[in-house]
Amino acid sequence: MARPLRVEFPNATYHVTARGNERKPIFRDDHDRHRFLDTLAEMVERFGIRLHAYCLMPNHYHLVLETPRANLSQAVGWLQVTYTVRFNHRHRRSGHLFQGRFKAQLVEADAYARWLIEYIHLNPVRPTRKGQPIPADRAADLDAFDWSSHRDYAGLRPKSPPWLCLDWLRYWGTDPDAARAEYRRAMGKAFGQPVVNPWQNLLAGFVLGSRELLAKATALAGGQPAQNTANWTRRQQLEQRRARLEQLLVTESDDRIKIWARVKLGGERGVDVARAFGYQNGSGVGQVIRRLETEMADNEELRTKLNQLKTSLSSVES
């Protein structure tokens, strides 16, 4: 079955989620959760993301984000790779942390913002069996849950983080205090009854919105959603690979190795790498790569280092 496309355009809004590999935990303790939120804050700043909501569960996360720069894959790819590297370093492990690609549904905010935010925030108290009502006595548990943006929307956190955008409170009211009161009232009504799943309204497997939004997304994809899945998949894989490579090269001091890695492993054009390193054109980059590969043939230490870089690039794939 073909995977849904990643359609990206300025100011698009998405629900993003990813699970741990083999459904294993991606957070072992509160230190990990704090580290993920710190990394999330870096992503918001680095890529100009508007983060409207989040919820951290033991083996998966939910984000609702907006991309003014049309850079969903780059931003979330960087988030997962960076957190994976930090998680693996702390817990002395290697390999994948997340299960395959992250999932992203394109969202029409005006129609689905309230429903989506309330649904995501109810994750910590919702029964695992779908269709069962949320126990009425779990309202206090939700208000005490510190790893989602629920407490920010409800006005229960003394100070919300600067990287969380609370503009969507307007969907509960124009006055902030009245909006928070309406949000709390709406959340209170969810207890004692089953939660209505917004994904039952999903169109074409990736649009939570109108037929007009689906038509726009399809046009941007160049036709029917299934037609260009392979191209979008390759683009996503390449962007994630480059994000992983960036993390692996953070401590590398040899510009020759950085240049070689970005071209040979990251698939970047020589002319683009040339600008980053002060060369006039791609021929200078080509010379650097050829000389390094010639040296590698007789330099076992260098050869080992480049091979280890290749191996590390594969081992942290998220």
Structure-token pair, residue 287: 């010379």
Predicted local confidence at residue 239, as pLDDT: 66
What is the spatial distance between Cα 207 and Cα 3, in angstroms, rounded to a whole number? 13
Predicted local confidence at residue 165, as pLDDT: 98
Asked if residue 135 lies in contact with residue 191, where contact means CB atoms within 8 angstroms, the answer is: yes
Residue for token pair 């979330």: 76
Pseudo-torsion of CA 238, 243, 246, 247, nearest 10°? -140
Asked if residue 252 lies in contact with residue 305, where contact means CB atoms within 8 angstroms, the answer is: no
The three-point CA angle 34-117-26 to 5° equals 35
Cα 132 versus chain centre, distance: 29
**Residues forming beta bridges with residue 103, ordered by sequence position:** 17
- Sheet containing 207-208: which strands, arranged edge to edge? 50-57, 60-67, 12-19, 103-107, 207-208
Helix axes 30-47, 72-91, angle to 10 degrees: 150
Asked if residue 259 lies in contact with residue 288, where contact means CB atoms within 8 angstroms, the answer is: yes
Backbone Cα Rg of the chain = 22
Predicted local confidence at residue 311, as pLDDT: 82
Helix axes 300-315, 255-264, angle to 10 degrees: 50
Beta strand ranges found along the chain (DSSP E): 12-19, 50-57, 60-67, 103-107, 207-208
User: What's the DSSP call for residue 191?
Assistant: B
Instruction: Report if pTM > 0.85.
Output: no
Residue 138 CB contacts under 8 Å (≥ 6 apart), including other chains: 125, 191
Phi, psi (deg, nearest 5) at residue 57: -105, 165
User: What's the DSSP call for residue 200?
Assistant: G
Over the chain (318 residues), the average pLDDT of each successive run of 10 is 66 96 93 98 97 97 96 93 93 88 92 95 90 90 97 96 97 95 96 87 88 87 52 60 77 88 85 83 85 88 86 63
